[in-house]
Structure 1
């Protein structure tokens, strides 16, 4: 480790920047994330640097560098095109014990600026010692995607309660285990979401429980798993899946997504298919309640979005009835995912000015819907769970006024490599051999936007 990583207190730091081009401007902007005072010396200054004229932390000096510019400085960035000047400033700075960084010249750097992920008071610095900047940017992107944007709130929260935890729990190990539970659990999620009052209440209960070796009640997260492709999960969904003690999942959660669940979490399948419910809805609701009361962090993983034909509202009502804390994490609903991956825009100025979602689930041999509201031109209608009732859907839409040649698409296994799209019209779709081969989950899209599929299809496997 050639470069020793260290964080410098910038409260009274005096920084000099020699040069005022765009490279120097980036160093200036970086330093202004801290309380440091910055002096910029250069005969010419770019517009970015000029914008900081009058800034309370910035002094702009319009002239060439002079040796006494280093007086009373703690660090200096050198960003000029004059190699001789850069080398001279490097030598002077070392003689005067001023930390020096000559931009893009690692041998003349006593320190280097790392790649920074700023979530103040949490700051993460990455460095390759100047040898692999592209790899560094790649790693930073990866970290940015998994570190919550609001983790700074968690830093402030930790500072607020640090002393209280020290007073309540004896020993470094006990305190470390407690904080790990907090950071990995429901309290951290509440803090990140800005629900401070709830978080502080739960923190108090958790600290009490830790002091008496009792486990507090857990929480339930209703998480939308999206239409199937794991790349379409939200960051928050993935984070919670990897924290869960218990995962209750349904039939529409793809195996690829289930693979991302924490390895040692208990996985409970509660999927439903036509006339075959592995567990009735009421029992699913109580299952979540009971697991949370045991102190478990429960993720209720649902295909698509929990609030769009996902019975999320019913499940929440049960949780409220039993005083179980919960949160909802939206997911990409099947209609949006299927349409996007099939190249069928749900709205289009030339085709559809509105879109409606409806359930095609059969009840007593019929589908009870407001057909007259659904059978409109210049509108897209998406039927969830509509494959079994497809003949009824086509018949009713024609009966209530849609032309029999209205385009219709069936999208099976949307967003996955097994995706299949069958198109036709209301009049002929049920007679197509390809339709007979389809199986759930299949989404039904009706409207003239379907005519754009052949032109806009970008995903269908095997298409050149």
Structure 2
């Protein structure tokens, strides 16, 4: 469930006002601003003003706005689609809103957010394209700042391009099947040669490019992106990952990928959970391989979302082999691996000049067998060790490393849910690691970082793995 602070108190929508009555009540600057805003639309604007200021009169006359030169009364707004109380008098505007609501007409009282059924956004107009920025009345200046930035980003020719797209919409729906072919056509339409020709004012050339594109787009095959979803925080997703998630027909995702990241995909994309957790595998790896091949062979554009980076303990090698064998094209989109996110949370240098010049990625299971891995001698010489999925075998990890010669007092950092809001940071020494095995409160993915470089971490925001009393008791027991 989303945090309440992350939910909007309004539902963004656009009112249809073409050839419909919209009433503005007021004589001064407030009414002037609303009339100017409404002149961006095809609404039939009515100004109700018994003593309008000169600038407002000039605007109304210049633009053919209907002017009712009398004081407000409810009968004057009967039948309106929207009503603005813009008198500059708070009590009078509240009375106008009350009258509109009695007539079941949405109303807005200027500068009184709690009296508004809707808010007027900061608007970027590239008709028929409109970008509306709302702050729920909390920060109009912020809305205007964002509007200025968006206005600079959007080409002045965007409206002309959108109108040309409307001409081709029916043809595209008739010629191209739903799904990837249509999306690919429109993506290239809005970002390729057609858009460039429109921007240059060459309408004829733009139409020729659109026809050429329509003929060439048929026959697009399936494609699979193996995408690193990062450690969990939505804003650590790469720009490329976001882009391909918006192109995908299907999102296939693991259990460790947060729902908030999955929700960043295209709204109408199919979502398939293949959630693999310890002791709870909804699909085997072979079944996942078969699913990706099946979807890609059917012409689907597929994003396979993996926690962290797909090439670091993500079993991407098996999926790539299956796709290659089936002749399905694929692409790797790297992600931020959990070790880097954990180190960032701890402000921990994974390499430290004169202390640690090597970095080892491993899983706790690599240290649970009878044979010590070859890299253990590097750890003894000072390399930093990042242990993925190490909580359940923490005791074995600590024991084997100490037997290999790593001092029991070597600093360790433990991070649950690296990069996320609910992350937990703990620190201690190698001899403290066995305590993790009995920590039932650790339910998220746990990363353990071991090495002398960890001593350079910022430990102010972390807690000891063992309480002082328990630490002393274990020392005495030893």
Normalising by structure 1, report the TM-score: 0.56
Pick the aligned partner of 1:395 from 380, 396, 399.
Answer: 399
Could you say which residue in structure 2 is the equivalent of 1:26?
Answer: none
1:250, 1:242 → 2: CA distance? 18
Alignment gaps of 5+ in structure 1 = 6-114, 116-123, 152-169, 192-202, 460-464
Question: Which stretch shifts more, 355-364 or 263-272?
Answer: 355-364
Could you say which residue in structure 2 is the equivalent of 1:358?
Answer: 362
Alignment gaps of 5+ in structure 2 = 1-35, 41-123, 134-139, 156-166, 194-210, 464-478
Answering whether residue 135 of structure 2 is matched by residue 138 of structure 1, we say no
Structure 2 CA distance for partners of 1:209 and 1:276, relative to 1, 3 Å:
same
Q: Is the 8 A contact 1:248 1:269 kept in 2?
A: yes
1:290, 1:333 → 2: CA distance? 28
Could you say which residue in structure 1 is the equivalent of 2:103?
Answer: none
Aligned to 1:361, what secondary structure does the other structure show?
helix
1:412, 1:452 → 2: CA distance? 20
Could you say which residue in structure 2 is the equivalent of 1:325?
Answer: 329
Could you say which residue in structure 2 is the equivalent of 1:378?
Answer: 382
Q: CA deviation at 1:180?
A: 4.6
2:151, 2:393 → 1: CA distance? 46
Deviations 1:210-243 (A, max 9, x none): 4xxxx64311011110000001011111122222
Q: CA deviation at 1:450?
A: 2.2
Pick the aligned partner of 1:408 from 412, 415, 418.
Answer: 412
Pick the aligned partner of 2:319 from 306, 315, 319.
Answer: 315
Could you say which residue in structure 1 is the equivalent of 2:340?
Answer: 336
Could you say which residue in structure 1 is the equivalent of 2:26?
Answer: none
Deviations 1:323-370 (A, max 9, x none): 111111111111101110122221222532221111223698668632
Aligned to 1:389, what secondary structure does the other structure show?
helix
Structure 2 CA distance for partners of 1:384 and 1:339, relative to 1, 3 Å:
same
Answering whether residue 233 of structure 2 is matched by residue 229 of structure 1, we say yes
Could you say which residue in structure 1 is the equivalent of 2:449?
Answer: 445
Aligned to 1:236, what secondary structure does the other structure show?
helix
2:338, 2:302 → 1: CA distance? 23
Deviations 1:115-145 (A, max 9, x none): 9xxxxxxxx999x9xxx99866635766999
Could you say which residue in structure 2 is the equivalent of 1:173?
Answer: 170
Pick the aligned partner of 1:182 from 158, 180, 184.
Answer: 184
Q: CA deviation at 1:451?
A: 2.2
Answering whether residue 266 of structure 2 is matched by residue 262 of structure 1, we say yes
Q: Is the 8 A contact 2:249 2:269 kept in 1?
A: yes
Q: CA deviation at 1:449?
A: 2.5
Q: Is the 8 A contact 1:341 1:415 kept in 2?
A: yes
Structure 2 CA distance for partners of 1:456 and 1:216, relative to 1, 3 Å:
same
Deviations 1:132-174 (A, max 9, x none): 99866635766999x9xxx9xxxxxxxxxxxxxxxxxx97632
Q: Is the 8 A contact 2:413 2:448 kept in 1?
A: yes
Q: What value does the CA root-mean-square deviation take over the aligned residues?
A: 4.4
1:144, 1:225 → 2: CA distance? 30
Q: Is the 8 A contact 1:218 1:295 kept in 2?
A: yes
Answering whether residue 287 of structure 2 is matched by residue 279 of structure 1, we say no
Q: CA deviation at 1:406?
A: 0.4
Normalising by structure 2, report the TM-score: 0.54
